[in-house]
Amino acid sequence: MAGEMRTVHYDEQLKIETYTFRGVMQQFPNHFHEYYVLGFIEDGRRHLTCGGKEYIVGSGDLLMISPQEPHTCRQLDERPLDYRCLNIPVAVMEKTAEEITGTAFEPRFCSPVAYKSELAPVLRELHGMIEAGEGGLQKEELFFLLIEQVLEEHMAPAVKPGSIGLSEPMQKVRDYLDTHYQSSVTLDELAQTVHLSKYHLIRSFTKEQGISPYSYLEAVRIGKAKVLLEQGTLPIEAAMACGFTDQSHFTNFFKRLIGLTPHQYRKIFQ
pLDDT tens digits, 239-257 = 999 999 888 889 998 988 8
The pLDDT mean for the chain works out to: 91
Alpha-carbon distance of 225 to 255, in angstroms, equals: 12
Per-residue pLDDT for 223 more than 70? yes
Contacts of 239 (CB under 8 A, 6+ apart): 225, 246, 247, 249, 250, 251, 262
Return the pLDDT at 159: 45
- Complete domains list, the chain, with CATH: 5-154 (2.60.120.810), 168-267 (1.10.10.60)
Per-residue pLDDT for 229 more than 90? yes
Query: CA dihedral defined by 199, 31, 116, 8, rounded to 10 degrees?
Result: 180
For the whole prediction, is pTM greater than 0.75?
Answer: yes
Tell me if 99 sits within 8 A of 83, measured CB to CB.
no
Return the pLDDT at 113: 97
**DSSP β-bridge partners for residue 24:** 81
3-state SS class at 171: helix
Alpha-carbon distance of 228 to 241, in angstroms, equals: 9
190 or 51, greater pLDDT: 190
Mean pLDDT in residue range 251-264: 89
Q: Which pLDDT tens digit goes with each residue over 137-174?
A: 999 999 999 999 999 999 987 644 333 478 999 999 99
Per-residue pLDDT for 65 more than 50? yes
Tell me if 8 sits within 8 A of 260, measured CB to CB.
yes
pLDDT band at 260; cut points 50, 70, 90: confident
Return the pLDDT at 160: 41
Quick one: CA dihedral 138, 13, 17, 70, positive or negative? negative
